[in-house]
Amino acid sequence: MRLPPRRHRGARGFTLIELLTALLILSLVAVMSYRGLGAVLDARAHVDREADKWQQVAKFLARFAEDVQLAAPRPARSAAGFLPAWRGSVEATWGPRLEFSRFAPAEGAAGARRLGYRLNERQEIELWVWPGLDVAPGVPAARYPVLAGVARFDVQYLDARLAWVTSWPAAGSGELLPRAVQVRIVLSSGEEIVRVFALHS
């Protein structure tokens, strides 16, 4: 007596519901991974922008500190007469906010020059550089942006009475240079930086 052949049961496949559920889960995982990656990239870009901004601020403050510490107590000659060794104005409609004579640095090829700093209409602090200590007629200063993204640039000067004044030469003072300079910078992003620089006068 022959037995009927045994039928082998095939492997059971996924149902349509199971496939749709798996696709849904994979889609949710992909969306969450994309959002997480986007958040990481946004955070990294923000950190890079902040690091670059403060690096530029640090470079400007280092440059400014070197310039004012080399300030020379020497008036400058110009076509209109003599300019004070250090001149600072509260509201400079044209020209630098502060302007001074500077000795040549110990290292480098730059000689003694007349320098100035000003906040321009593009929210940049500009460095003005004349070719020498004296301002020759018809020779404009070269201008270089040294710090961008600045909303305010305020300067005060310490006089012999140890009082802060907003313009220089100070009224009733025969000093050619202030004792110190206080700089207040407000960035366009809202941060405020205040630094005081002593002069080697």
pLDDT, tens digit, for every residue of 165-195?
999 998 777 889 999 999 999 999 999 999 9
Per-residue pLDDT at 52 exceeds 80: yes
Q: How many CA atoms lie within 13 A of 166 on its CB side?
A: 6
End-to-end CA distance of the chain: 124
Identify the pLDDT of residue 118: 94
pLDDT level of residue 12 (50, 70, 90 thresholds): low
Its pTM stands at 0.75
Number of domains in the chain: 1
In a domain, 1, yes or no: no
Average predicted confidence (pLDDT) for the chain: 85
Q: What is the pLDDT of residue 88?
A: 92
Question: For residues 169 and 172, what is the distance between their CA atoms, to the nearest angstrom?
Answer: 9
77-118 tens-digit pLDDT = 887 788 899 999 887 666 788 999 998 876 665 678 999 999
In this structure, is residue 79 part of a structural domain? yes
53: three-class secondary structure by DSSP: helix
In a domain, 15, yes or no: no
Is residue 14 situated within a structural domain?
A: no
Q: Whole domain around residue 153: which residue ranges?
A: 65-198
Q: Is residue 6 part of a domain?
A: no
User: Strands of 86-88's sheet, edge to edge?
Assistant: 86-88, 98-102, 113-119, 124-129, 142-148
Instruction: Please check whether residue 162 lies inside any domain of the structure.
Output: yes
Predicted confidence (pLDDT) at residue 7 exceeds the cutoff of 60: no
Q: Is the pLDDT of residue 56 over 80?
A: yes
Rounded (5°) CA angle 97-100-105? 125
Interacting residues of 2 by C-beta distance below 8 A, sequence separation 6+: none
